[in-house]
Amino acid sequence: MSRTVTLLAVLLLLLAACSSNEDSLVSGPSGPVVTPAPTVAGVATFVAPNFTFVLTENDHGTKYFFDPHTIDAPRGSKATIEIRNAGTVEHNLTIPSLHYDQDLAPGKSVTPTIILGSPSSVIGFYCKYHKALGMSGAFNLT
């Protein structure tokens, strides 16, 4: 019985450590910028109006994906995104409602800044080359 209680306590501690949503503060070109704790299951959450993060485009065999694929952020926030193509083929980031369309060769990166101003609560994005294979994601605005 004490072995079960000990195992349960260890599991609860691990769960608490893994579910932390605390943001870390780093310095950016226009002052402090909030970046999230590491993504959990492809989701990143931001609470500050200005933030920066890495959006990785990738492919493994028949799986094409963005990491993170879901970004929770305040409506109207300014996001600086380092888009990295970590895959083996050309990828793209298309955000139709923001009129953003950027191709990226394998191993390359770009760092645009976008304003998440939208009357909608969701801003979808995708890779125009691999959308049919599920390579898509969204900004969920709060």
Are residues 116 and 122 in contact, defined by beta-carbon separation less than 8 angstroms?
no
**Mean pLDDT to the nearest integer, 29-41:** 45
Kindly indicate the confidence band of residue 41, based on its pLDDT and cuts at 50, 70 and 90: low
Q: Kindly provide the b/e burial profile for residues 79-114, where b requires at least 16 CB atoms within 10 angstroms of the residue's own CB.
A: bbbebbbebeeebbbbbeebeeeeebeeeeeeeeeb
User: Distance (Å, rounded) from C-alpha 17 to C-alpha 125?
Assistant: 30
Architecture of the structural domain at 21-141: Sandwich (2.60)
Strand partners, 123: 139
Q: Tens digit of pLDDT for each residue in 65-95?
A: 999 999 999 999 999 999 999 999 999 999 9
Provide the percentage of residues in the chain whose pLDDT is more than 90: 61
Q: Tens digit of pLDDT for each residue in 21-32?
A: 333 223 334 444
Rg for the chain, CA atoms, rounded: 17
